[in-house]
Amino acid sequence: MEKVNIREKLGQFNDHWNPRIVGELNGQHVKAVKLKGEFVWHHHDHEDELFLVTKGTLKMEFRDKTVEVNEGEFIIVPRKVEHRPVAPEEVHILLFEPASTLNTGNVENERTRKTLEKI
Amino acid sequence: MEKVNIREKLGQFNDHWNPRIVGELNGQHVKAVKLKGEFVWHHHDHEDELFLVTKGTLKMEFRDKTVEVNEGEFIIVPRKVEHRPVAPEEVHILLFEPASTLNTGNVENERTRKTLEKI
What residue spans define the domains of chain A? Answer: 6-98
Q: Is the pLDDT of residue B103 over 90?
A: yes
SS3 B7: helix
Fold topology of A6-98: Jelly Rolls (2.60.120)
Neighbours of B66 (CB within 10 A): 11
Task: Tell me how close the Cα of A110 comes to any Cα of chain B, in angstroms.
Answer: 27
ipTM of the complex: 0.95
At B6 the three-state DSSP class reads helix
Q: Could you read off the pLDDT of B4-55 as tens digits, one per residue?
A: 999 999 999 999 999 999 999 999 999 999 999 999 999 999 999 999 999 9
| Minimum mean pLDDT range among A56-60, A98-102, B63-67, B81-85 | A98-102
Residues of chain A with Cβ-Cβ distance to B78 below 8 Å are 1, 25
- Are A84 and A41 within 8 A, CB to CB? yes
Q: Which of A72, A67, A65 is nearest to A92 (CA)?
A: A72
Question: By C-alpha distance, which of A48, A78, A73, A46 is closest to A62?
Answer: A78
Alpha carbons A116 and A98: distance in angstroms, whole number: 13
DSSP character for B82?
-
B1: pLDDT confidence band, cut at 50, 70 and 90? confident
Rg of chain A in Å (alpha carbons)? 13
Whether A16 shows a pLDDT value over 90: the answer reads yes
Please report, for residues A3, A7, A43, A109, the alpha-carbon distance to residue B93 in angstroms, rounded to integers and kept in the order given: 14, 17, 30, 38
pLDDT of residue A1 exceeding 90, the answer is no
B48: Cα separation from own chain's centroid: 11
| Residues of chain B positioned with their CB less than 8 A from the CB of A72 | 5-7, 54
Q: Do the chains contact at B7 and A72, CB–CB below 8 Å?
A: yes
Contact call for residues B99 and B107 (beta carbons, < 8 A): no
Q: Give Cβ neighbours of residue A9 (< 8 Å, ≥ 6 apart).
A: A20, A22, A32, A119
Residues 25-84 of B with CB under 8 A from A: 25-26, 28, 30, 47-50, 54, 60, 62, 65, 67-70, 72-78, 81
pLDDT tens-digit profile of A48-105? Answer: 999 999 999 999 999 999 999 999 999 999 999 999 999 999 999 999 999 999 999 9
